[in-house]
Amino acid sequence: MTTATVTAPTGTKAGAPRRGLAGRLVDRLGGGAVQVVMVLLGLFWLVPTLGLLVVSMRTSEVNNAEGWWTIFTKPAELTLQNYANLLGSGFSASFWNTVLITVPATVLVIGIAAMAAYAFAWMDFRGRDAAFLVVVGLLIVPIQIALIPVASLYGAADMFGSIVGVVLFHVAFGLPFAIFLLRNFFVGIPSSLLEAARMDGASEWKIFASVVFPLGKPAIASLGIFQFLWVWNDMLIALVFAETGNQPMTKYLQSQMRQFGSNVDILSSGAFLSLIIPLVLFFAFQRYFVQGMMAGSVK
């Protein structure tokens, strides 16, 4: 008898699955080409920010007469007078009000949510699953329906218009998503680590502070960025609950638009200053942010 021999095609290994056209195309375009494309996309994404910076450093007359891209041929038009005028107004106070609102609202949400997420993930107590379902259900509650009841409560407690009231509102509505996010991350921590810590006599608080919290840094950093950006850029809560003396930057810039209409020099410089802090925060914690977004996608 004659035995037929099957020869694998040249360039492939015997028994290896043949890749389709899409797979071969990805292999050929992978590496440097993909990185170049991503860099170009990133630069394209930064074009509006560059335009905002240029507009904020030119006078209103120049901005009304020509586009911001003409700055490459007329660099002498740049000036810092807009920022000097802005910092000499009420913007400085609104900037610090924004810091006083955003930092406590972010820190409190991270701290409370991390402890609650650990309890939901690794502590056994009666009603745990039902309580977690309630937390998940709160994710669908829109902020708008709570404005009037909370405003009445703040009025009765003499907290309406204060920075404390704005912070508490952001904390209350930031906790459901924060607990949900961190709980799902903490569940993925190997149980052997926690069991080893308990065998060494560690308490639940010690396990949380020494094992779970350090391992949860990627998710915590991602949560911190999301919460910080949400509170920093919020205007609805500030319009309702913050008085003029306690107003953050978003409400201050909105009031400038209402008073002066097309005051582009003030609005653009204020918008760029409000943009700087979130950009610095994002790039500072970019590594943790990417790790937190990718957590759980690869086993």
Predicted local confidence at residue 101, as pLDDT: 94
Query: Last residue of some domain: 54, 78, 102?
Result: 78
Q: What is the CATH number of the domain that holds 109?
A: 1.10.3720.10
- Write out the two tokens for 170: 């952001």
Q: Does any domain span residue 13? A: no
Q: Is residue 186 part of a domain?
A: yes
**At 277, is the secondary structure helix, strand, or coil?**
helix
Question: Do 150 and 59 fall within a single domain?
Answer: no
Instruction: Kindly state the DSSP code that residue 123 receives in the 8-state scheme.
Output: -
Report DSSP state, residue 57.
T
Tens-place pLDDT, residues 206-261: 888 888 888 888 888 888 888 999 999 998 999 889 888 888 988 888 887 755 55
Are 290 and 171 members of one domain? yes
pLDDT in tens, 6-26: 444 554 445 444 555 555 655
Single out the residue of 98, 85, 81 nearest to residue 276, CA to CA: 98
Measured CA to CA, the distance from residue 249 to residue 144 in angstroms comes to 21
Q: How many CB atoms lie within 10 A of CB 70?
A: 13
Non-local CB neighbours of 106 within 8 Å, separated by 6+ positions: 224, 227, 228, 231
Q: How many domains does the chain have?
A: 2
Are residues 68 and 199 located together in one domain of the fold? no
Domain coverage including residue 239: 89-296
CB neighbours of residue 115 within 10 Å: 18
- Together in a domain, 185 and 232: yes
CA 171 remoteness from chain centre: 15
Are 134 and 235 within one domain? yes
Residue-by-residue pLDDT tens, the chain, 299 positions: 455 554 445 544 454 445 555 556 556 555 677 778 888 888 888 888 888 888 888 877 787 778 788 888 787 778 888 888 888 777 888 899 999 999 999 999 999 999 999 999 888 888 888 999 999 888 888 888 889 899 999 989 888 888 999 999 999 999 999 999 999 888 888 888 888 888 888 888 888 888 888 888 888 888 888 899 999 999 899 988 988 888 898 888 888 775 555 677 778 888 888 888 888 887 777 666 655 555 544 43
Verify that 99 and 233 share a domain, yes or no. Answer: yes
CA distance 55 to 36: 29
